[in-house]
Structure 1
């Protein structure tokens, strides 16, 4: 199938090139979780700070939100069109911002790589020092907390791990929930 847009009930919907994988919403229940409020201090590298907070904790994966805060430096990617018929959109070149950056919102996922090490993923919206809106896939190891702490909320859970797997519909590698034995 050739990827394309369709109108459905007045909403523009992108149809990927691969075989539809329904349902797209996956639901997993776990018996227990741990909620954390994380405050990362000024000048902290966010990836390093998050990994330090998670070190030694028992969890399979985690999800969370950026609640508030700012950055002094960050790098992010947005989707761009490509010439590839099967994958007409991909991440573009990194956009780098410096200066006073304020977060509006952000969604974090902590998955696991093939060796079981934590894998950080984040999409966020933010304002630059001139009030211009930005948003996309944040590169967390290039995100430096700015003049106010970065406040996050994380929900850690066991027995399910988000792992990168190929996705037949989108032709992207996506984080999929994978059930694991209780540790």
Structure 2
């Protein structure tokens, strides 16, 4: 009844294609939980800005909220059901918009299996034409504009986030892992 009143479609039901995993969400606790705010300047990609600013703070893994700012160029795509059922979801074709206003986003900094920094981000934005959109933000294709983007950061110092293959979704996912000893 609520769906009909609000005119909204029913949410999609997702069935994981791989073997059932009794613990779906891995969690670890960081005793320090350093928090700070960054102002990401214009002219660089979100990926470059976040990775560099966080590296300067000694942070390799973090959870972030991104707020406001202008995006000179914004790359994004949408997660779509995989028609083959082989994986949980697949990303649609990338889209590019210019002159977007960033409304809100959540981002996670971690690393690939080889140790390369990875920034995963979902967000909402307003296009130059006024349409409100959202999706998976392609941080390496998104350039901050004249008004800086604010990042509210929680550093994860006692463990790290790493992209690993997940059997249940059959996709690479960012998961908490014991910190690797570098030396």
> Does TM-score exceed 0.5, indicating one fold?
yes
Q: Any conservation in 2 of the 1:68–1:152 contact (CA below 8 Å)?
A: no
The answer for the alignment partner of 1:92 in structure 2 is 92
Distance 2:33 2:58 in 1: 10
Q: Report the CA distance between 1:84 and its aligned residue.
A: 1.6
The answer for the alignment partner of 1:20 in structure 2 is 20
Q: Any conservation in 2 of the 1:60–1:160 contact (CA below 8 Å)?
A: no
RMSD: 2.2
Range moving further from structure 2, 74-83 or 162-171: 74-83
1:120 equivalenced with 2:119 (yes/no)? yes
* 1:171-182 superposed matches below 5 A: 171-180=170-179
Describe the SS at the equivalent of 1:97: strand
Task: Provide TM-score, normalisation by structure 2.
Answer: 0.84
Give the 3 Å change call, closer, same or farther, for CA 85–42 of structure 1 in structure 2: closer
Q: Report the CA distance between 1:55 and its aligned residue.
A: 2.4
* 1:44-83 superposed matches below 5 A: 44-83=44-83
Distance 1:177 1:82 in 2: 26
Equivalences, count: 173
Q: Report the CA distance between 1:109 and its aligned residue.
A: 0.4
Describe the SS at the equivalent of 1:55: helix
Give the 3 Å change call, closer, same or farther, for CA 43–84 of structure 1 in structure 2: same
Q: Any conservation in 1 of the 2:162–2:175 contact (CA below 8 Å)?
A: yes
Over 4 Å off, 4+ runs: none
Q: Deviations over 1:17-70 (max 9, x none)?
A: 112223323321122132121111232322211122122433341010112212
Q: Report the CA distance between 1:12 and its aligned residue.
A: 4.8
Q: Report the CA distance between 1:132 and its aligned residue.
A: 1.1
Task: Provide TM-score, normalisation by structure 1.
Answer: 0.84
Q: Deviations over 1:144-180 (max 9, x none)?
A: 1123111111111222111111111111110011022
Give the 3 Å change call, closer, same or farther, for CA 12–139 of structure 1 in structure 2: closer
Give the 3 Å change call, closer, same or farther, for CA 165–146 of structure 1 in structure 2: same
1:129 equivalenced with 2:150 (yes/no)? no
Give the 3 Å change call, closer, same or farther, for CA 37–18 of structure 1 in structure 2: same
Q: Which runs of 5+ in 1 are unaligned?
A: 1-9
Q: Which runs of 5+ in 2 are unaligned?
A: 1-9
